[in-house]
Each structure stands twice: as C-alpha cells, then as structure tokens.
Structure 1
Amino acid sequence: MIPRRRWAYVIPVAVVMYMPAYLDRTNVAVILPYVGADFPLSAGAKGLASGIFLVGYLVLQIPAAVLAAKWSARKTVLILMIAWAFAAVLCGLVRNETQLHLARLLLGLFEGGVWPAVLVLLASWFPQAERARANAWWMTCLPISAILMSPLSGFMLDHMSWRWVFVLQGLPPLVWAVVWGFAVADRPARARWISPAEREYLETTLQAEEDAKPAFAKRSYRQALANRQVLLLVGVCFFWITGFYGFSLWLPSVVKTMTGGSATAVGFLSAVPYVLALAGMVACAHWSDRTGNRRLAVTVPLLVAIAGLLLGNLGGFAGPYLVGWLTDVTGTAATSFVVLAAFFAVAAGLAFFGLKPATVEGSAHVPAATRHP
C-alpha cells in the first residue's frame, strides 16, 4: 500500500492558506452595499470594484508560475501572501471611488500569482492519477470560505463599520504566512515528514510522467499558447470564470435586494449554494480520477450551472462589471442573468466539442480499489 501522508500534510495547509485569499476577493460583494454611506457608488462602479480585481489578477499568472517552477513555489506564495494582506487592509483605508478601485487592483495583482504557484506545488506532490482529487480537495477552500466567511462578514457588518471589516479580514494571511513558511516543502525530497517509501513512489512516478509528456508540453509558453488544445482550455476557463465571478461577486447584492434582510441574514443565505458546491466538486473529482473522463467532468457541471441560473430565479448575473453596467442601462438585473448563462453555455460547448482526451504514456489510471485517499 502506497503511503499517503501528502494528503494530510500538503492539502490542509494549502486550503487554509487560500481561504483568506478567496475571502479578500469576494468580501467586497457583501461589503459594497454599505460603502455608500461614505461615498456613493453606482451599480457600474460596484461592478468595476469587483471586476477590476481580475485585471490585476491577470498580470502575475505566468510570471509567478515560472518563478514557482524555477525557484520555489513555497517562497513565491509566501511573498505574495504578505503583499496581498497589505493590499486587503488598504481596501479599508480608502477615501473615494478611485482609491477603492486602485486598492482592489493591487489586491488582484498580488493574489494573481498564488493560484498558479500552488498548482506547481501540487504537481510536485500528486501524480496524474490523483491530480483531479488533489486539485478538488485544495479547491474546497473556495466553497468552505464562502460558507464560513459570508455569514462572518455579515455579522461583522452588523457590529462594526465596513472599513474595519476590510482591515480585520486582511490580517489572517500574515498569521498563516508563518505556518506556510515552516510547514510546506517544494517537493518530496525536501520534506522531513515523508516516509522513504512515499518519497520513492512520488519521485519515480512523477519523473516517468515528466518523461512521457508530449513535445508541446515541454516547449516555451509562447509555443504552448500556439497549441489548439491550450487555446481551447483558455476559452473554457474564460467563459467559466466570467460566469463564476459574476455569480459569486453579485449574489449577496441580489439577495439583499430580494430579501431586504440584515447583513447577517444575507451572509447566511449567500452561503447556501456553496454547501452544494462543496459536495459536488469533490464527488466530480473522484469520478474524474476513477474514469479518466476529464471532458465530461468539466461539461456536466457547466450544464448544471446553466440550468441552475435559468431556473433558479435568483436575478441576473454576468461578469462583475458587465452585470453592473447592464443593470445601470436596463434598470434590471434580468438581462445580465441570461448573459451569464450564455457564458456557461459557451464554456460547456468548448469543453465537450473542442477538447479531446489525451492519454499520457506511463500514467494509466490506477484501479479505484488501490487509490488513496
């Protein structure tokens, strides 16, 4: 039996690390309705405050991945954690709309490199037959953060100013940076807690998978971006991310408008969809690793998302700025609702009809009965 300490040591530390990151990017959705007391914000300005984060987020994606792969994923994430904490606190100190947008831009800039750096780290700890489950268990930080933190943000808003909520929620990354620095190792060879058997299994398997990679996967980023499959994956990600952030960043505002409830009630109601998301993403990842059918594992959840948005009658969602702009123009969120569903539809179509499953020689799927955890 292959030892599995990596599941208990690597994943939980990464999950806790990224929970504040997701909180710091999405708490703006709960907080923005209360900013108007200090300086008024139109729906478009609110959408821009949410969406401009992703403009900064784009900048360090590839540089951080390169730095993590060639230098150290652990150190790259550590530096970015400290920087994003200061940017998050800065959001609570702004005095006007321009400063708010700038602070959100900086937050996205520093957080943008964390995700790819963690993916590099996970690729050094989990072979391909375990990769979907490893990514899914790490990504549980997203729904867990929403489930726990949305009600927390609402509760805090009921007892303190929105400025203090931004400041206090920006501090946890500074604390966890200490844990991250001591607990995480870049690869099995550098970990003290791993057994010799597990280290040998990982090093042998991962090296075999690296040797068996197709030629285009070993080329430069420029050459990789010229590959059709890579471009299709970029397209799937674009349309999915637009829908995902349109939903997550506007849900609290729509819930507040529909219910007129307190900040605490809005926080609890906004957390409900993520309870189902938590169970669904883990189950889907296990099915993906068991069957090896990555295409359906992407397509089916996107189709479910379309049905949920068109039948759920929660209001209108699209990309954060698009939602705000359409609301200002049309006076209703209903139009944006249909637009968001269309983004999911395009992502599902690209995933199912455009992507072709590829089998890497030497990385056949292990029978379910022998897999861990």
Structure 2
Amino acid sequence: MDYPKIPSERWKRIIPIAFLMYTIAFLDRNNISFGLLGMEKDIGIGATYAGLAAGVFFFGYMFLQVPGALFAQKWSAKKYITISLLAWGVFSVATGLVQNLTQLLIVRFLLGFVEGGVSPATMILLTKWFPLSERSRANAYWYLCIPVASIVSAPLSGLILTFLDWRWMFIIEGLPPIILAVIWWYMIDDSPSEAKWISKEEKEYLETTLERERQEIKKSTGTLKDAIKNRNVILLLLVFCFLQIGFYGIGLWLPRLIKSIVDGSMMQISLLSAIPWICAMFGSIINSKIADKKKDYKWNIAIPILAGGICLLLSVWMGDQNPILSITFLSLSLGFIFCYGVYWTAVTSYLTDSVLSVGMGTINAVGNLGGFVGPYIVGYLISTTGNFFVGELFLIISLLISGSLAMLLKTRRNENANQMTESNAQVGS
C-alpha cells in the first residue's frame, strides 16, 4: 500500500547523516593507500608489510560485527556509533604519529576493531526508520558512501600530500569523525518514538507500519550449525570472501596501480585514482536498477564480477602499450565488481528464514577477511617478484573464482523445491 501524503523527513535527516558518517569511515579506512607511498620509506617497510598494514584493519574489523548489531538493537545505535566515531577518530590521528611497523599494525588493527560494529549498527538503525517497502532504496543510497568516499579521498589526500606529508594527512583526515560525533549525537534518534522533529502523521505511519511488519515477519534466527549446513550460506560466504580479495586488493593498491601505468605527480595520480571510483558509483546504481527490475540477483552478481575480472586482465595486458586503455579497463573493472547492494539483497532473497540472521552475520564477519588477504598477498607478491603483474594476476583469479561461484547459487524458490522433493522422497520410502 502506498502512502503518498505521508511526510518523509526521515529521508532528509537520517540518510544524509548516516551517509556522511560512513563516508568518513571509508576515507579513514582507505587513505592508507596514499600514505603507503611515503610510509614505506620513512618507517622502512617493504611492499609485503605495507600490504599487511593495509589489510590488518579487516582482521580487527570482524570482532564487533555481531556485538555491534546487538548493542544497536538492545541498547542504542545512536550512542554506540557516537562512541565509535570518537574512537576511530583518535586511532586515525594516531596513525600519523606511529614510528615503526609494530605501532602501525597495532593502530590499524584497533581502527578496524572500533569501526567493525558501525556497519551492522547502522543497518539496525535503518530498520527502525524505513519500512521494507523503502529499505532497499535506503540501503542503496547509504552504500554509495563507499565510492563517494574514495572519490573524495583521492584528490583530498593528494592535495594534502602535495603540501604536507603522510603524517599530516592522517591527522587532518582523522579529525572529521570527532567533529561528526557531536553532529550525530544531536541529529540522530534511535527510533521515531524518540524524535521530536518529525510530524505526528509520519511518526504514526512508521510506528504502525513497522509494528505490522514485525508481526508479519517473525523469522527464526537458527543456529550456527544450520547456517554452516546451508549450501547458499557457504556459496555466498565464498563469493563474498573472494570478491573482497579482489575489491580491496584493487582499492587499497589503486594509487600504486595507477602509478605503474602513468608516471605522474602525486596530484595527477590522486585525480586519476578517482576515475575508477566514479565508475563504481554509476555501476552500482545501474546494476541495482536492473536487479530490482528483473529480480534475478544471481546473474547480477556473477556477470559483473566476471566482467570485472576480465577488465582487470585487459588492463594488465594493455599495460605500458596504451596507458589510456589500461586505466579505462581498470576503471571498468571497479565499476563492475562494486555490486554489494545487489549482493546483500541476494543474501536476504536466497537464504531460508531459519538461517538468515546467522548466515548474514557469518558471511559479513568471515567474508571480510578477504579484505585482509587481498592487500597482504598482493604486497607479498610484489616484494618477492619485484613487479605488479603477479599481484594483479592473483586479484584477477580471485574475481573469476568469485563470479564462477556466484553462478552456482540456487534461488530460494529452487531451494525450497529441493527440500520438498527430499521430504516427499523420505515419505515415499
């Protein structure tokens, strides 16, 4: 049922602040890709440890996935994220003060640790403000923070590094979350019942609609054992893990990838690094619209990931022969593989109710380790071989594996049909 006359102040207040908050989170997560260009020399670390420093964030990131959601659900998303903003601002600034590899690894781990619960906490917050009929759009608009953060990060980091050094880059870019913590505290409410800025009509609509949905959709949480036994959980976990390897392997080494193609200044490299993220933003919007129209999420995951792997291969093949085409294919690669909005829609579509919540938590916690593996392995391969080609080949193979595994997914309808067939067979026997 549509409610065209219901005010929609929630769209103007919740989404922009949540979008800005997580844009800053990704900026502080990914700016190490630019910092590494100076850190390797000043701290005395090679490509292997540079990749480890970039990837160790994701090792810390996995610990608060489930606790963050529970804190937001049972305590307060507003309070939890406020504390997280202050904490990750401190650790981001501290990155600019490290003196050796050990300190760098500790700070990056802690940065990932305090940021880890923010994403699930935000998702819980959005479920309290946007009914199911609006939630896909709300999640999609919020998820655009990833490419936008990277688009902003490239020229901003390049500008700072043009006049200052990597230490000042981390310090300056670590201050916004501390400032935003104050804005978040005063602008965000945990639920419509606590908000004083929305109309009576909007509050009643949200409370009535959300309560009806809670009564209609009572999903069993299932157990970890149920999730592990579920075929689609395993496939989606593997798809996500290999996708994360490729996505973060490209994203965190992007400035170095660009520099291996074009020998330009720091500002030129940073501006060129923004182009792939612009492609990612448009690719995500286009793919999501197609997926919503056709409701065939399996192929809207598999085909873009496979296409992204092929484009990365073409970018490597072009190499020094044609820098323009090489950067074009690199940009298209990131544009294709940024299909996370469709991926998480598929998770809720393909998993049976009994394993949905546990399956999502398992996928997000374990799958994000791909963000640790990708940057580290690429750095290790660069150090041992002395060139970028082997590292890029590892990313290409990871993407092709991810896309191929996505092709094996079974829709929820097919899975239910298989379960019915097995049940009938047991009755017949």
- The answer as to whether partners of 1:295 and 1:357 remain within 8 angstroms in 2 is no
The answer to whether the 8 Å contact 2:306/2:404 transfers is no
After TM superposition, give the deviation of residue 280 of structure 1 in Å: 1.9
The one-letter code sitting in structure 2 at the alignment partner of 1:309 is L
The one-letter amino acid of 2:252's match is L
- Residue identity opposite 1:246 in structure 2: G
Shift of the alpha carbon at 1:336?
Answer: 2.2
1:337 equivalent to 2:340? Answer: no
Residue equivalent to 1:54: 58
1:370 aligns with: none
CA separation of 1:3 and 1:310: change in aligned 2, threshold 3 A: farther
Distance 1:187 1:170, change over 3 A: same
The structural deviation recorded for 1:332 is 2.1
Letter in 2 for 1:35: M
**How far off its partner does 1:234 sit?**
2.4
Deviation, 1:157, is 0.6
Matches within 5 A, 1:103-114: 103-114=107-118
CA distance 1:242–1:129, change in 2 (3 Å):
farther
Q: Whole-Å Cα distance in 2 between the matches of residues 220 and 3 of structure 1?
A: 40
Partner of 1:268: 271
Q: How does 1:87-126 map to 2 (within 5 A)?
A: 87-126=91-130
Once the two structures are TM-superposed, the CA of residue 220 in structure 1 deviates from its matched residue by: 5.4
Alignment-mate amino acid for residue 130 of structure 1:
E
Question: Counterpart in 1 of 2:352?
Answer: none
Q: What amino acid is aligned across from residue 307 of structure 2 in structure 1?
A: V
Give the Cα separation in 1 of the matches to 2:7 and 2:408: 38
The one-letter code sitting in structure 1 at the alignment partner of 2:391 is: S
292-301 vs 156-165, which moves further:
292-301
Name the counterpart of 1:363: none
In the alignment, what sits opposite 2:283?
Answer: 280
User: Could you tell me how far 1:308 is from its partner in structure 2?
Assistant: 2.2
Answering whether residue 247 of structure 2 is matched by residue 244 of structure 1, we say: yes
**Partner amino acid for 1:331?**
G
User: Aligned pair in 2 of structure 1 residues 347, 355: CA closer, same or farther (>3 Å)?
Assistant: farther
Percent identity over paired residues: 40
Aligned equivalents of 1:199, 1:297: Cα separation in 2: 36
Change (3 A) 1:100 1:186: same
The amino acid across from 1:4 in the alignment is: S
**What does 1:281-360 correspond to in 2, within 5 Å?**
281-313=284-316, 319-357=374-412
Show the 5 A alignment for 1:130-141. 130-141=134-145
CA-to-aligned-CA distance 1:226-270 (integer Å, 9 cap, x gap): 544334332222122111110100011121233222211111011
* Distance of aligned partners of 1:285 and 1:129 in 2 relative to their CA distance in 1, 3 Å threshold: farther
Q: Distance in 1 between matches of 2:153 and 2:400?
A: 29
2:218 & 2:407 partners in 1: Cα distance? 22
- RMSD over aligned Cα atoms: 2.4
Alpha carbons 2:40, 2:46 under 8 Å: kept: no
Cross-structure match for 1:155: 159
Q: How many residues align?
A: 358
Contact 2:298–2:407 (CA<8 Å) still a contact in 1? yes
The answer to whether the 8 A contact 1:74-1:184 is kept is yes
Q: Is the 8 A contact 1:133 1:286 kept in 2?
A: no
- Summarize deviations over 1:84-106 as a string: whole Å, max 9, x none: 01110111111111111111111
With structure 1 as the length reference, what TM-score do the two structures score? Answer: 0.88
Q: Which structure has the larger Rg?
A: 2
Say which of 10, 17, 30 aligns to 2:14: 10
Say which SS state the counterpart of residue 302 (structure 1) adopts.
Answer: helix
Q: CA deviation at 1:222?
A: 6.4
Name the stretch that deviates more: 114-123 or 313-322.
313-322
Distance 1:202 1:295 in 2: 32
Q: Are the aligned partners of 2:40 and 2:50 in contact in 1 as well (CA < 8 Å)?
A: no
Gaps of 5+ in 2: 317-325, 334-372, 415-429
8 Å CA contact 2:298, 2:409 repeated in 1: no
CA distance in 2, matches of 1:120, 1:222: 24
Counterpart code for 1:146? S
